[in-house]
Structure 1
Amino acid sequence: MAPARHAAYAEESAEVEVLYANLEKMKSLSKKIQGSMGRLDVSGKVVQDAIGPIYGNTQRLQTTNSNIDRIMDAIDKARQPLDMRNREEQVLRERPDRVGLSQYIASMDRTNRALKDLKATNMKSNQKAVADLNGLLEVGTRNLEQVFRDVVRQDSQPIEPLQQIMRGAEFPRFSSKSSAELRTMNAQMSSFQSPAAGGTLSPSAKVYAQERGQYIQLSLQNLSAASLSTARKVNAEAVYKPGSNGIGTYCSGIQGMFIAEYACICEIFQREEWNPVLAATCQPALAAFGSTLRDLDGHIRTNLITDCYLAYEIVDLVSNTSFQLEEKTGGLKQQISDALKPVRETAKASLSILLNDTRTKIQQLMALPSDGSPVGITTDVMQRLQLMTAFLPPISSIMRSLGDGGWTSSSSSTAGGSTSSLPTTKSFDVGADGAQLFAHYSADTIETLLSNLDTRSRALLKSKAAQGVFLANNICVAERAIRASDLATLISASAQPKLDAWKKKAQSAYTDGWKEAADHLLDVQYISKAPRPPSTGGVDSAAIVKALSSADKKGIQEKFKSFNACFDDSVARHRAFRMEGEVRRDLGRAVQFLLERLYSRFWDRYHEVDKGRGKYVKYDKQQISGILAGL
């Protein structure tokens, strides 16, 4: 067993020796590997130090190359507007009507986009290119603007508005084709043109307003001239007749042309531009209209008493025109109101001037008809009021602005001076009844007329009878004028009480002339103690006369004689007066009422004093009654 065990140990010992030998080899190899690793680390560091800069430069070169590519792309993009400039310039330097409006507008759009792209690069080197494209767009805009002007001008030949007015035809407008072209061009110019400062018109709107404004002004100039020529007077004393001036046709022409123009503007421009463009377009015509109204105002103020009605007519026509334009266009009312202002102020002043004229003319009368005939100024004043009824709407408006009674203000202007007046506390009462204000004015006019006639008659006519007849005749003329016209329904309620009061005063003045005759018919004074004779029916004249003393009888006889003389004189004077039919009737009745009962009573009591001889008692009761009834 031992040799076998020894052999096993020997074999294991050999294996151990082999392992030790391999271990030594591994150690030697490890040392070599460690040495190689050390040398490799040193070599790696050397390589890293050598390759690192090369790698960094490569990255930077890649970035630079990328940047260069992008710059090249940007340059290519920047060059594109420059490259297209030559192509678009050929189009934009031609007229739009030659190359075609749509092609021309498309070229402007492309140029405008290129300009925006070029500005977005913000490169200083592109400033010249930006300037070139701006200049090219300006050329295109001017060409487009010129074609816009040509199209507007083509349909803007002056017309004669009277033909449209007489035929009742519509005023001419742009054709649908022209409107479409103008609308397209205006939209194009507005798309890249910044609005002017201060809210003024765009260039295309200015062109439109200039061309169409001239067209309207020239078209209306004959109507303006006609308004002035028809105002000239052949007879300085002639009173203006309603409708005889051309201002009505002028207003119709303005209204028709302005409304037609507004329709054209709405077809071409944006909504926010409609009223500004309309105002600018109509401005030349409105300026000419204002000048015409100022000239007419000067004529009216020179002939205010006879031509104030023209002022009322102008106020009516122009006010209606402004309302119509406001309704149809939404504008121009203020401009027309400004043009009307001088005439309106003159119309306001005329109301007080007419009252003053009535007063002055009466005060200047140096003599009055001795027969009591009415004077012409009464007819003139009533004709004024009658004529005013034809202009009741404008007069009512004027009176509302003055206020009730404002026409009597001392601050009212005169025809030769300023046409403004200070407002009263009742002024501007827009809710006032115009017809009632006119009635009050008419009543004041009649009061002014009659009060001044009364004052003048007392100064120039000696007898009260003549004064009464004169006043009554003038009242009759006034009443007749009222009944025969629209004044009857307008002013009767206001004027009639004043007329009745003046009629009573005139009647009282006239009957004063008969009171001397009436005084002779008063009862005698009884101084005896005898009982007073009865004064009721069934009077016994013989008994009464028999009871009188001789002196009393003589007194009664003298009374009859004096009455006869006064009565005959009064009757003759009455018949010598020139009385209007109504006046003769009313005054005759007043005298009859005054004398008939007195004489009848006096005759019943004392006619026997004459014993039927007719020496003292000239008239019996029937005769007196007949004479008085015939007055």
Structure 2
Amino acid sequence: MVAPRKGAYAEESAEVEVLYANMEKMKSLTKKIQGSLNRLETSGTIVNEAIGPVMGDTSRLQTVNLNIDKVLDAISNIRAPVDKTNREERIIRAGPRKTNLQDYIASLDRTNQALLDLRQTNLRSNQQAVAETSALVKLGTKQLEDVFRDILRDATRAKVEPLEYVAKNNPFPRIPEDKLSVLRLINAHISNSAAQVSQTDIRETATQRIYADIRGDYIVSSLRNLAAASVSTARKVAADALYRPGTNGIGTYAQGMEGLFLAEYESICPIFARDEWGLVCTMTCQPALGEFDKTLRELNGHILKNLMTDCFLGYEIIDIVSKLSIRIETKTGELKRPIYDTVKPIRETSKASLGKLLEDTRARIQTLVALPMDGASVPVTTETMSRLQNMTNYLSPLQSVMTSLGDGGWSGPSATSSSTSIPTLKSFDVGADGKKLFAHYASDTIDTLLQNLESKARILLKGKNLQGVFIANNVAIIDRMIRSSELAPLMGEYSNKLDGWRKKGTAMYMEAWREPSGHLLDVQYTNRSGRPHSGGAGATDSTAIIKGLNSKDKDAIKEKFKSFNASFDELVARHKSYKMEREVKAQLGRDVQTILEPLYGRFWDRYHEIDKGKGKYVKYDKGQLGATLAGLA
């Protein structure tokens, strides 16, 4: 058993020895590898120190080569604009009339680009070339401007007569399409060139100014006859005649101006860029607006001289011009303020006119030295109401004017204050507020009229019955003129005030009839025997009543009949001598009959036997008196 065990140990020992031998070999190999790595690192350091300077020199050489290439490119770029200018100069100096316009503009565009390139080089050596190229661009641009001007003049040789287009409702002429395309091409180039070349913000180009000057003169000359007609038609034939709507030429003038402005705007849009339309339109139309403003100032002077009759022309002008400004602004987006500003003087005059009309009504009555002795109305009543009737034709502008004054402002200092508000479409809708303002003004006017007439009547007319007839006649005319015109729906609330004046006139007239009425009143004694009560069965037995009277009472009854007859006859004659309006005569006649006939009938029933039918004291029986009273109506 020992021998096999020793054999096994010997085998394991041999394997261990082999392993130790392999480990020694690995250690030896590792040392060799480490030595090789140390030598390789040393060699790399030496190589790096040797090659580094060479690589730096190579990088610097590459930078130098790149800079040289850039310089060569810059030189080429510097020479290119000069070369381009030399090629385009021949075309530009020949002018646009000797070559195709599009080719000419293309050449000018290339020259302009060359100028920009030269300026970007910023080299002193190119300053001469910059100056020469700039002069060439200016020459070409000037030649294009001349072509632009000539085409416009050719399209504007003959002025139009706006009246023909307005009368026939025809569209106003525009610049022909073929000319528009050329003008558009030229303007586009000049606008772009100006924006590129200029160092500052350009608000107005040469083509804009050329267009505004030529076409502006064309519009002014076309409207000249209408402007003159507007002034001439304002001249009055009759000094006291009220202005009637549409009799002045200002409406046609405004229509003609609107037609020309809108046609011009339609010509401007195809030529100029969108952001230029408003500026060019304003520049072009400004001279015509200046002439329009001058015309309105002349008309304002005429209105001021004839304010009481021609203030209505002022109202009409406000209406026309205000609506014109809104229509043009709606279609062009421009000119609303410039157009509206032209009417400012007339607007101020119109505001002042409202107070002046009230003052005139008051003054005309106060200066009266006599009133009709037959109680007839005075002309100032009809004339005042005619003014109010005429005002209903101008409710739109009056609403604007009255709104700026405020309710009742026509009676105060604010009536002459300035206003710069611009009306809107809503302001031309005569709604409840506008109607109320006008109704208040009309009420104030009628109150002023009647109050002053009453005061004057108390001074100049003797007797309240005559004064009452006078007041009633004037009230009747006022009422009739309200009902027969557009004042009726506006002044419904004034009817109560007018009824008050009517009742006042009637009461004043009826005071005179108190005298005959008083003669028909007698004293009844209910405690005397034989004297029946007025309500008794024998109240109408005149014979019995007369017999029951003593001589003194009979004499008193006789005197009452005589006094009544005299007073009644006088008042009937006076009534018939008065000049009464139809409705006044009917109303006063009914009022007299309503009061007097029952009183006389009762008195007659009781005492007509006082003269036993001889007619010595009892002049009228009931039928005769009723017929006479009926004749008063």
TM-score bracket, normalised by the shorter chain, equals 0.7 to 0.9
1:519 corresponding residue in structure 2 = 518
SS at structure 2 position matched to 1:257: helix
Q: Deviations over 1:513-532 (max 9, x none)?
A: 11111111122264975586
2:571 corresponding residue in structure 1 = 570
Query: How far apart are residue 223 of structure 1 and its match?
Result: 0.8
2:13 corresponding residue in structure 1 = none
1:17 corresponding residue in structure 2 = none
Distance in 2 (CA, whole Å) between partners of 1:432 and 1:328 is 29
2:368 pairs with 341, 361, 365, which one? Answer: 365
Quick one: structure 1 residues 59 and 505, their matched pair in 2 at CA, closer, same or farther if it must change by over 3 Å?
closer
1:311 corresponding residue in structure 2 = 314
1:32 corresponding residue in structure 2 = none
Distance in 1 (CA, whole Å) between partners of 2:555 and 2:486 is 61
Map residues 145-544 of structure 1 onto 2, 5 A cutoff: 145-157=145-157, 158-194=159-195, 200-413=203-416, 420=418, 432-491=432-491, 493-524=492-523, 526=525, 533-536=532-535, 538=537, 539=539, 540-544=541-545
Distance in 2 (CA, whole Å) between partners of 1:421 and 1:125 is 64
SS at structure 1 position matched to 2:521: coil
Quick one: structure 1 residues 504 and 215, their matched pair in 2 at CA, closer, same or farther if it must change by over 3 Å?
same
Q: Deviations over 1:185-207 (max 9, x none)?
A: 11111212137967732222122
Query: How far apart are residue 459 of structure 1 and its match?
Result: 0.9
Query: How far apart are residue 483 of structure 1 and its match?
Result: 2.9
Map residues 78-117 of structure 1 onto 2, 5 A cutoff: 78-117=78-117
Quick one: structure 1 residues 568 and 537, their matched pair in 2 at CA, closer, same or farther if it must change by over 3 Å?
farther
Distance in 2 (CA, whole Å) between partners of 1:468 and 1:391 is 35
Quick one: structure 1 residues 458 and 410, their matched pair in 2 at CA, closer, same or farther if it must change by over 3 Å?
farther
Q: Deviations over 1:3-43 (max 9, x none)?
A: xxxxxxxxxxxxxxxxxxxxxxxxxxxxxxxxxxxxxxxxx
Distance in 1 (CA, whole Å) between partners of 2:200 and 2:223 is 32
Distance in 2 (CA, whole Å) between partners of 1:542 and 1:353 is 69
Quick one: structure 1 residues 212 and 422, their matched pair in 2 at CA, closer, same or farther if it must change by over 3 Å?
closer
Question: 1:513 is matched by which residue type in structure 2?
Answer: A
SS at structure 1 position matched to 2:343: helix
Quick one: structure 1 residues 208 and 537, their matched pair in 2 at CA, closer, same or farther if it must change by over 3 Å?
farther
Distance in 1 (CA, whole Å) between partners of 2:405 and 2:588 is 40
Query: How far apart are residue 584 of structure 1 and its match?
Result: 0.9
Structure 1: where are the runs of 5+ without partners?
1-47, 414-418
Tell me whether 396-405 or 314-323 shows the greater mean CA deviation.
Answer: 396-405
Question: 1:450 is matched by which residue type in structure 2?
Answer: L
Query: How far apart are residue 287 of structure 1 and its match?
Result: 0.9
Quick one: structure 1 residues 259 and 192, their matched pair in 2 at CA, closer, same or farther if it must change by over 3 Å?
same
1:550 corresponding residue in structure 2 = 551
Tell me whether 439-448 or 311-320 shows the greater mean CA deviation.
Answer: 439-448
Q: Percent identity?
A: 54
CA contact (8 A) 2:405 2:414 kept: no
Distance in 2 (CA, whole Å) between partners of 1:497 and 1:525 is 41
Query: How far apart are residue 316 of structure 1 and its match?
Result: 1.6
Distance in 1 (CA, whole Å) between partners of 2:204 and 2:149 is 15
Q: Deviations over 1:206-249 (max 9, x none)?
A: 22112111111111111111101111123222222221111011
Between the two proteins, the alignment pairs up a number of residues equal to: 570
Quick one: structure 1 residues 237 and 99, their matched pair in 2 at CA, closer, same or farther if it must change by over 3 Å?
same
Tell me whether 102-111 or 517-526 shows the greater mean CA deviation.
Answer: 517-526
CA contact (8 A) 1:311 1:343 kept: yes
CA contact (8 A) 1:403 1:429 kept: no
Distance in 1 (CA, whole Å) between partners of 2:585 and 2:99 is 95
Query: How far apart are residue 57 of structure 1 and its match?
Result: 12
Q: Deviations over 1:586-627 (max 9, x none)?
A: 110111112111111222222233332222221121111111
Distance in 1 (CA, whole Å) between partners of 2:390 and 2:607 is 59
Structure 2: where are the runs of 5+ without partners?
1-49, 422-426
Q: Deviations over 1:399-434 (max 9, x none)?
A: 333333332334424xxxxx74899xxxx9996532
CA contact (8 A) 1:454 1:471 kept: yes
Tell me whether 358-367 or 543-552 shows the greater mean CA deviation.
Answer: 543-552
Distance in 2 (CA, whole Å) between partners of 1:192 and 1:235 is 63
Quick one: structure 1 residues 494 and 95, their matched pair in 2 at CA, closer, same or farther if it must change by over 3 Å?
farther
Distance in 2 (CA, whole Å) between partners of 1:73 and 1:460 is 111
Distance in 2 (CA, whole Å) between partners of 1:319 and 1:59 is 80
1:126 corresponding residue in structure 2 = 126
Distance in 2 (CA, whole Å) between partners of 1:209 and 1:616 is 99
Query: How far apart are residue 583 of structure 1 and its match?
Result: 1.1
SS at structure 2 position matched to 1:514: helix
Query: How far apart are residue 462 of structure 1 and its match?
Result: 0.6
Question: 1:126 is matched by which residue type in structure 2?
Answer: N
Distance in 1 (CA, whole Å) between partners of 2:201 and 2:445 is 53
Question: 2:502 is matched by which residue type in structure 1?
Answer: K
Distance in 1 (CA, whole Å) between partners of 2:420 and 2:331 is 34
CA contact (8 A) 2:397 2:428 kept: no
Query: How far apart are residue 96 of structure 1 and its match?
Result: 1.8
Query: How far apart are residue 570 of structure 1 and its match?
Result: 0.4
1:29 corresponding residue in structure 2 = none
Distance in 1 (CA, whole Å) between partners of 2:59 and 2:546 is 166
Query: How far apart are residue 566 of structure 1 and its match?
Result: 0.5
SS at structure 1 position matched to 2:415: coil
Distance in 2 (CA, whole Å) between partners of 1:420 and 1:119 is 56
Distance in 2 (CA, whole Å) between partners of 1:196 and 1:303 is 57
Query: How far apart are residue 272 of structure 1 and its match?
Result: 1.4
CA contact (8 A) 2:282 2:335 kept: yes
CA contact (8 A) 1:217 1:288 kept: yes
Distance in 2 (CA, whole Å) between partners of 1:322 and 1:422 is 14
1:21 corresponding residue in structure 2 = none
CA contact (8 A) 1:521 1:563 kept: yes
Question: 1:350 is matched by which residue type in structure 2?
Answer: S
CA contact (8 A) 1:349 1:420 kept: no
2:33 corresponding residue in structure 1 = none
SS at structure 1 position matched to 2:614: coil
